[in-house]
């Protein structure tokens, strides 16, 4: 069957699309036929449409591997790509710690993705910000200037207009935004210190970051200090305060792993779940920056998320 073996019928309404398989055509898999008919869409996306019931064969929902036979009538409802939802306002749950006419400080819950991306085109903090603050639609990335990992809780700042966004970005570049974190790590960490190791994409596992050697590594600096140590599930753990100079992807997680003290429950970087922890135990506790309007320093603190606090409460701390 060639590209011209099937003709699109003219319809009174522009949607859905209807195609007729000619009686002279040879049987062929439905997904292959549809992919040739609508080449502007990827085959994997079209398979998703079929599986979701958006393609009918002779009035019945199609199946990806079924054969499209001579005389079959194909009906296709074109679907918006998932990335089209990236900047759609949605009612997403998150806490606003404080706000001004220039910025919004958010306490992001664990499990909430900060910004849309592959596999997470909706239900993100960005979608929620656009729902609560429609004016952010005119600001790049809805005003988001830095991110937290999906399973990291805590504070981040959002700019409410372009000038405030530029002001905050310049502070980040100058390393004058103060960001302090609380982490629970494996093992007994006894002394404070700093990790100054560049971070880039892991050469073997694309979803991971790594210290050198890595793909396109960038300078990264993390200062850390042990707060207290104890045991849970018969394993030694240490509560650690971390302060960032830079903001590389997964920075604290990668740097603590480089010290052989991965975060508890951070499976991606060698951590194990202890005390019922279901996500990496990392919380952005404190944030401070220079206010765009007044030039004064403003500071914020967010209590630990309930699941993190529960693990800490269950630890037998050393006296």
Structure tokens at 47: 């398979």
Q: How far apart are CA 161 and CA 146, in angstroms?
A: 15
How far is Cα 22 from Cα 41, in angstroms, rounded to an integer? Answer: 23
Q: What's the token pair of residue 251?
A: 């920075």
Closest-CA residue to 191 (of 215, 224, 214) = 224
Catalytic residues: 149
Q: Which residues contact 312 (CB under 8 A, 6 or more apart)?
A: 184, 239, 304
* Residue 83: both structure tokens together: 């990335």
CB burial readout 144-172, b (16+ within 10 A) else e:
bbbbbbbbbbbbbbbbbbeebbebbeebb
Phi first, then psi: give them for residue 87, nearest 5 degrees: -115, 35
């Amino acid at each position: 069957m060639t590209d011209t073996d099937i003709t699109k019928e003219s319809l009174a309404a522009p949607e859905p699309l209807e195609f007729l398989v000619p009686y002279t055509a040879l049987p062929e898999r439905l997904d292959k036929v549809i992919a040739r008919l609508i080449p502007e869409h990827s085959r994997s996306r079209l398979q998703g449409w079929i599986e979701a019931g958006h393609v009918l064969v002779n009035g019945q929902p199609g199946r990806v591997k079924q054969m499209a036979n001579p005389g079959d009538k194909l009906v296709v409802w074109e679907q918006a790509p998932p990335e089209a939802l990236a900047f759609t306002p949605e009612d997403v749950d998150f806490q606003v710690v404080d706000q001004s006419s220039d910025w919004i400080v958010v306490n992001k819950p664990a499990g909430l993705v900060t910004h849309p991306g592959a596999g997470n085109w909706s239900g993100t903090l960005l979608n929620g910000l656009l729902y609560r603050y429609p004016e952010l639609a005119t600001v790049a990335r809805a005003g988001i200037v830095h991110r937290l990992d999906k399973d990291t809780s805590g504070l981040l700042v959002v700019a409410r207009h372009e000038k405030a966004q530029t002001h905050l970005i310049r502070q980040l570049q100058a390393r004058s935004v103060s960001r302090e974190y609380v982490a629970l790590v494996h093992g007994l960490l006894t002394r404070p210190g700093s990790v100054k190791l560049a971070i880039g994409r892991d050469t073997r596992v694309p979803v991971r970051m790594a210290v050198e050697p890595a793909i396109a590594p960038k300078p990264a600096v993390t200062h850390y200090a042990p707060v207290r140590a104890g045991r849970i599930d018969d394993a030694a753990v240490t509560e650690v305060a971390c302060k960032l100079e830079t903001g590389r992807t997964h920075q604290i997680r990668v740097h603590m792993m480089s010290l052989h003290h991965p975060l508890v429950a951070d499976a991606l970087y060698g951590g194990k779940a202890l005390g019922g922890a279901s996500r990496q135990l990392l919380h952005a506790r404190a944030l401070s920056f220079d206010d765009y309007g007044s030039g004064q320093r403003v500071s914020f603190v967010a209590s630990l998320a309930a699941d993190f606090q529960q693990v800490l409460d269950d630890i037998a701390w050393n006296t």
